[in-house]
A and B are shown apart, each in its own frame.
Chain A
Amino acid sequence: AQTVTQSQPEMSVQEAETVTLSCTYDTSESDYYLFWYKQPPSRQMILVIRQEAYKQQNATENRFSVNFQKAAKSFSLKISDSQLGDAAMYFCAYRSPSGNTPLVFGKGTRLSVIA
């Protein structure tokens, strides 16, 4: 079974600075998908970024980018120019290639942004 590990329960960053959230995973599959989700106080899950394992290029969405290291099974999220609205729980998630399989979530990292 696949597992996802987020080793940082809490992180903080100064507004406008950059922060990196760590995520490692374990799988025997060669093809899969990785995700970062944001859960603000409203508790609505919001997709931040998605990475297909077969793609070597790291995904980027505006201020959010990932560092995907397939051999190391590492998938970190970098948030640049942090904003107050970035404060939330961030979950790393894994999904097998079949779309009918559920997401496997890490325990989450609570990010605080300091003004």
Chain B
Amino acid sequence: GAVVSQHPSRVICKSGTSVKIECRSLDFQATTMFWYRQFPKQSLMLMATSNEGSKATYEQGVEKDKFLINHASLTLSTLTVTSAHPEDSSFYICSARDSPLDEQFFGPGTRLTVL
């Protein structure tokens, strides 16, 4: 199957700093990527849909000024957590849609810890 990578896999930062998470489709082009957040022992919660070359669509309750999403190319979407606070600590997962296969492939996730 297609491969999606995320970088970094783990990040620890101080409160008030910004953190960027990258999501890359390694062997296919993805016009659409999705960003999810997962709290311990809970399900995946959709944060936003990222479309290449256009603004992301955020789910209700997700602060777009805090969680900046950029999908500048067909293989890369980035999520920047701005002015991070401890409550932003979570596991962030991206998925990318492979149009020909009509399937979404998941990255391995990024664990963010804000001190």
Q: How far does the Cβ of B75 sit from chain A's closest Cβ, in whole Å?
A: 17
Query: Quick check: is A85 within 8 A (CB to CB) of the other chain?
Result: no
Within 8 A of B (CB), among A62-115: 91, 95, 99-100, 102-108, 110
Q: How far is the CA of A48 from the CA of B103 in the complex (A)?
A: 13
Inter-chain contact A44/B109, CB cutoff 8 Å:
yes
Q: How many residues of A contact B (CB 8 A)?
A: 18
Most A Cβ at <10 Å: residue of B93, B102, B104, B109: B104
Query: Which among B1, B46, B91, B97 is the interface contact of A99 at CB below 8 angstroms?
Result: B97
By a beta-carbon cutoff of 8 Å, the part of chain A in contact with chain B is 42-45, 47, 50, 91, 95, 99-100, 102-108, 110
Query: Quick check: is B115 within 8 A (CB to CB) of the other chain?
Result: no
Inter-chain contact A99/B43, CB cutoff 8 Å:
no
Chain B residues with Cβ under 8 A from A106's Cβ?
43
Inter-chain contact B102/A99, CB cutoff 8 Å:
yes
A-B contact pairs, 9 of them (CB 8 A): A43-B93, A45-B93, A99-B99, A100-B31, A100-B32, A102-B34, A103-B104, A106-B43, A108-B42
Q: How far is the CA of A45 from the CA of B106 in the complex (A)?
A: 6
Inter-chain contact B99/A43, CB cutoff 8 Å:
no
| Interface flags, B73-108, vs A, CB<8A=1, else 0 | 000000000000000000101010101001110101
Inter-chain contact A100/B97, CB cutoff 8 Å:
yes
Inter-chain contact B103/A43, CB cutoff 8 Å:
no
Inter-chain contact A107/B43, CB cutoff 8 Å:
yes
Q: How far is the CA of A91 from the CA of B38 in the complex (A)?
A: 13
Chain B residues with Cβ under 8 A from A103's Cβ?
34, 44, 46, 95, 104
Chain A residues with Cβ under 8 A from B49's Cβ?
100, 102
Q: How far does the Cβ of A15 sit from chain B's closest Cβ, in whole Å?
A: 24
Q: How far is the CA of A110 from the CA of B40 in the complex (A)?
A: 13
